[in-house]
Structure 1
Amino acid sequence: MNEMVTIARDEYDRLQAAAEDLANLQAYDRAKAALVAGEQELIPSDHVNRLLNGENPQRVYRDLRCMTQTILAEKAGVNRVTVAEIATGRKQGSISTLRALADPLEITLDDLVE
């Protein structure tokens, strides 16, 4: 059956706004639940700004995790010089090396690659 209902434009606009508000609240609830479950994390705005300004992601996340190049290299099983060369842009690093670096930084490979 195809029934139609006619309502005033004001009422339609009000219902549309209420539906958008509900969708926003549901998105907020999902985001909060993901934070509580440890599926997402909050990143301080200064670190986000550094990423947005094009700073090397490895350097930003190392700073966020309070790691030196040496500590990251040890945890990743990678040479410290390689870590430094990737951080300065002298080398891109292989996929396996970048994956090894991403794990101790607790980020995805996508987060590490610009």
Structure 2
Amino acid sequence: MAKAGTAKSNVQFIHTPGGGDLAVLPRDEYDRLVALAAEAQEEAAASRIVRHSMRALREGREIVLPKAVADRLADGENAVRVIREWRNMVQGELAVAVGISQNYLSEIETGRRKGPAELQKKLARALGVPMDVLIE
């Protein structure tokens, strides 16, 4: 009788003339091992993705957004306005932080102006997000 945690095995070992060993096992056991190997590969891939994402979060290359914020961005709302509001900043605060007038910021948030790339970088830094979050 097999001990708990061990399974009786029907594996046969064959010694080849060249000195190698072959294992012959029932098809259902082979299929089970193949499935376990595939599962282990999927878990390893998922683990790599999680490690990559965690590193990107630590380095500030990615952020975690609340669903409500992500939904607003997905609906096409202005990213600067959405992120500013999420960060609980008023227009005047952000304008001062990036060195522009509140009026200019308002035009950016309404889509009338875009601003140069350098300003986009300043907005991203001031809002604590990667620049690609602000680019449509």
Same fold by TM-score greater than 0.5: yes
1:81 and 2:103 aligned:
yes
Larger radius of gyration: 2
- 2:20 corresponding residue in structure 1: none
CA distance in 2, matches of 1:6, 1:83: 72
Aligned to 1:42: 64
Map 1:62-73 onto structure 2 (within 5 A): 62-73=84-95
CA distance 1:68–1:19, shift in 2 (3 Å): same
Secondary structure, counterpart of 1:24 in structure 2: helix
CA displacement 1:19-71 (0-9 Å, x = unmatched): 10232134334544655x46454221100111111111001110111111111
For these two proteins, the number of residue pairs brought into alignment is 109
Bigger proportion of residues as helix: 1
- 3-state SS of 2:129 partner: coil
Q: Partner residue of 2:115? A: 93
The runs of 5 or more residues in structure 1 that have no matched partner are: none
- Residues 1-114 of structure 1: pairs in structure 2 closer than 5 A: 8-32=30-54, 35=57, 37=58, 39=60, 40-114=62-136
CA RMSD of aligned residues (A): 2.5
2:96 partner SS: helix
For the structure 1 residues 25 and 45, does the alpha-carbon distance in structure 2 shift closer, same or farther, using more than 3 Å as the test?
same
Give the gaps of 5 or more residues in structure 2: 1-22
CA distance in 2, matches of 1:33, 1:110: 17
Percent identity among equivalent residues? Answer: 29
Higher RCO by CA contacts (8 Å cutoff, separation 6 or greater): 1
TM-score by length of 2: 0.67
- Partner amino acid for 1:83? L
* Structure 2 letter corresponding to 1:109: M
- Rounded to whole Å, the distance in 2 between the matches of 1:6 and 1:77 is 74
